[in-house]
Amino acid sequence: MAAVVFFPLAALLVILALTVVLHPDPVKSALALVGTLFLLAVFFVFLSAEVVAALQVIVYAGAIMVLFLFVIMLLNPGAERSERRGPVAGTVVGGLALVLAWQTGWLAAGGKIGAEGLRPERGYGGVFALARSLFTDFLLPFELTSVLLLVAIVGAVVLAKRRLS
């Protein structure tokens, strides 16, 4: 992936992510999140993960974000009181977050992997490879995911249904 493409997109991604985090209007935040997800899908494509990219758009941006927007609309009738934290909190938290990014992104990666770390293979990222991995390496997690989703459904129903009278 060429730097000319990467850096502007990366910058955009960061801006969108920041918008999610910083925009006072939750709806705008949500939309920015959708943008972030789309942009990530683009990155996934660049990283030869087309299937993932597709799922990202369909499941994430499509399904999950709709749910979010729905809930935002449902619960957010009026304007809230001052949204943002004070500058002190912002600075401290921002600083800490930066340190974390530095630690995980810079220090960690600085060890082994150089700029030339990406080595695509033939058939890499194809559905077949993914499926094989999914049903061999991760068969049990895959099965267990069904339980997870069941729990989520039951849970959501239990929590969200109207109270018994």
Residues 30-69 that bind another protein (CB under 8 A): 30, 33, 36-37, 40, 43-44, 47-49, 51-52, 55-56, 59-60, 63-64, 67-68
Q: How far is CA 161 from CA 18, 147, 156, 164, 165, in A?
A: 34, 21, 8, 9, 12
| Residue from 79, 87, 88, 107 binding another protein (CB under 8 A) | 107
Site string for another protein, 68-87 (x = CB under 8 A): x--xx-xxx---xx-xxx--
Element (H, E) at 14: helix 3-22
| Residue from 79, 87, 88, 160 binding another protein (CB under 8 A) | 160
Rg of the chain over CA atoms, in angstroms? 20
Residue for token digits 């749910």? Answer: 67
Site string for another protein, 130-149 (x = CB under 8 A): xxxxxxxxxxxxx-xx-xxx
Does residue 88 touch another protein according to CB under 8 A?
A: no
The encoded tokens of residue 131 equal 């499926």
Q: Are 32 and 23 in contact (CB under 8 A)?
A: yes
Does residue 12 touch another protein according to CB under 8 A?
A: no
